[in-house]
């Protein structure tokens, strides 16, 4: 079973499943809307260099969040085998 859990196809399934779950969650959707409004307001105040650093920061946070979602889902799956 561990081969299945570490396979690229299963990892993709986990990522897609996590996205599906959060996209249908009202707390997630409301918070995400508020974040997007705040982000838009912040970007208007940023210089070019700060905007580039913010983009990098935002990408890293997003990648880390995706990694954690996949990690937790995988571990939860493993815990029940």
Mean pLDDT computed over 52-81: 86
d(CA 78, CA 60): 27
In the chain, % of residues over pLDDT 90: 47
37-42 long-range CB contacts below 8 Å, 24 or more apart? none
Contact (Cβ atoms closer than 8 angstroms) between residue 22 and residue 70: no
d(CA 22, CA 17): 9
For residue 24, give its domain range: 2-79
Mean pLDDT of the chain: 87
* Domain count within the chain: 1
d(CA 57, CA 14): 24
pLDDT above 60 (res 1):
no
pTM summary value: 0.67
Mean pLDDT computed over 49-68: 92
**pLDDT at position 67, please?**
87
């Amino acid at each position: 079973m561990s081969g299945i859990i570490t396979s690229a196809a299963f990892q993709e399934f986990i990522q897609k499943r996590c996205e599906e779950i959060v996209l249908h969650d009202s707390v997630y959707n409301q918070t995400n809307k508020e974040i997007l409004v705040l982000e838009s307001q912040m970007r208007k105040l940023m210089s070019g260099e700060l905007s580039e650093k913010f983009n990098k920061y935002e990408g890293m946070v997003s990648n880390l969040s995706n990694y954690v979602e996949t990690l937790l889902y995988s571990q939860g799956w493993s815990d029940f085998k």
